[in-house]
Amino acid sequence: MILKRHIPILIVAVVGFLTLFGWFVENETIEAFVNDDATQWYDILASFAIILGALNLLKLQGRKILKQQSGWGYSLFAIGGFIFAILAGFVIKGSESVVWGAHVTSKGTLFKWMFEFIFTPLSATMFALLAFFVASASYRAFRIRNFEATLLLVSGIIIMLGRVPLGSSISSWFVMYILILFAGITVNMKFGNKKITFGTVLGGIVIVTIAGMLSGWPVDQPGIFYLPTLQEWIYYNPNVAGARAIMIGIGLGIFATSIRYILGIEKSYIGE
């Protein structure tokens, strides 16, 4: 019980406290541990984890082939590709003029050939298929159900149009006319009066038309309605604010999880 439970918890607590307080204590020994030793230990453990993951992959796929379970033909390709990558990385260079280590990025080697003509096309294929899933997810997310979904739809359209050449050709005055129509729809939904709705739309069209004629209909003015300018503001203000909020939430989650590990509350790493 002591070797399997208490000692691992003690090691995690001590190392966790040293790593955590190493960022707040000005001590060369502790700083060296946090910046050098702890990082090297992580790399060593990660290397062993990669080896265990590779062996587990071979085990699961091999069992699937032996039992001829559903899709076992794909397992043959998985194991074959794994063995081929191992041979290309550690056994066969394919070019005697290239030293070991540099052969993974040098032309004329087997590993580089595999990366350029097998891995890269397969990756491109996966990303091409991913576009269809993104389109399907966007369709489901952009359906207008409430005010938040409407904001998401409008922001998405502005971002997509503002980042393509077509968006820079759309005049800000055209956008203003579209907004007037949306304003008319909103007024009609709220008051339900045709005269008020007609007066709102007609008054907006007259005001925008007169303003456009007086200013000479510049494409990018007023800038607040020009799609490239508007999408840039959305991208660098509301989007950045949301991204920072997400990162703060992730940071708090990491801190809470780390404290649980350090205090011995979370014991999943010892199988509990």
The pLDDT assigned to 272 comes to 67
- Where is 72: in which H helix or E strand? helix 72-90
pLDDT at 178: 84
Q: What's this model's pTM, rounded to 2 decimal places?
A: 0.59
Q: Which pLDDT does position 142 carry in this prediction?
A: 66
Neighbours of 103 (CB within 10 A): 21
Could you give the residue ranges of the DSSP H alpha helices within the chain? 7-21, 28-32, 38-66, 72-90, 110-114, 120-141, 147-162, 165-169, 172-191, 194-215, 227-236, 238-262
User: What pLDDT sits at residue 61?
Assistant: 92
91 phi and psi, to 5 degrees?
Answer: -120, -55
Residue 68: predicted pLDDT? 87
The angle at the Cα of 214, spanning 184 to 199, to the nearest 5 degrees, equals 20
Write out the chain's pLDDT in tens, 272 residues: 666 777 888 888 888 888 777 777 777 887 788 888 888 888 898 999 999 999 999 999 999 999 888 889 899 999 998 899 888 888 888 777 788 878 888 888 888 888 899 889 999 999 888 878 877 777 776 666 676 777 777 787 788 888 888 888 888 888 888 888 888 888 888 888 888 888 888 898 899 888 888 888 888 888 888 888 888 888 889 889 999 999 999 999 988 888 888 887 877 777 66
How many residues does this entry show for the chain?
272
Whole-angstrom distance, CA of residue 145 vs CA of residue 149: 6
At residue 138, the pLDDT reads 72
